[in-house]
Chains A and B, each alone.
Chain A
Amino acid sequence: EIVLTQSPGTLSLSPGERATLSCRASQATSSSYLAWYQQKPGQAPRLLIYAASSRATGIPDRFTGSGSGTDFTLTISRLEPEDFAVYYCQQYGSSTWTFGQGTKVEIK
């Protein structure tokens, strides 16, 4: 079973700053099956990035996914007020899923 470890646990930043979130897999995983989700309090998660670097429909271009093998990154180029939330990476290969434990992006 692939384990995904996200870092940092919490990121304290100001609006307009750049956020860099990491997701590391315990074994090499196909980038075709790596996604990122955003979750706000009281809401279901929302798909941001799939196949490691493809933006989902309607996702602004300030969200960028990258990486391969065991190391993946979500970058938010300039934080908007609505971007403060919790972010999860997920691997979804072979119809089995694993989620990282999440990174909270909070207002500094």
Chain B
Amino acid sequence: EVQLVQSGAEVKKPGESLRISCKASGYSFNSYWIGWVRQMPGKGLEWLGIIYPGDSETRYSPSFQGQVTISADKSISTAYLQWSSLKASDTAMYYCARRAGPVDYWGQGTLVTVSS
């Protein structure tokens, strides 16, 4: 069974760094792109970027280039989304998602709250 299990909710202060994770199981992690999607409170879905774990090729939405970093560790089938300096406007639910053409599997979401 394909599963994407994300790390738990985080509460951070502005300026802090953060890395959230997405652990994949039930399929060949190296063979499918994994994307990250943001959903701010009460708002729609926004694509941040995507990584191909097989060779770590990464692509970012122009809106998020330089704002976040996407990476993956093949040895533990885990993708990451990280920030070096959080802002209050980063408060949102973040989903990882497997690309098999369209997105066929989603993680359960990680809620990130940034507040002083």
Contact = CB atoms under 8 A, between A and B. Distances in A.
Interface string B32-66: 01010100000011110010100000010110000
Nearest to B6: A44
A44 B104 contact: no
A97 B47 contact: yes
B107 A96 contact: no
Contact of B99 (A1, A86, A92, A101): A92
A47 B61 CA distance: 21
Contacts of B47: 96-99
B45 A35 contact: no
Contacts of A37: 45, 103
Interface in B49-108: 50, 52, 59, 61-62, 95, 99, 101-104, 106-108
Interface of B: 33, 35, 37, 44-47, 50, 52, 59, 61-62, 95, 99, 101-104, 106-109
Interface of A: 1, 33, 35, 37, 39, 44-47, 50-51, 56, 86, 88, 90, 92, 95-102
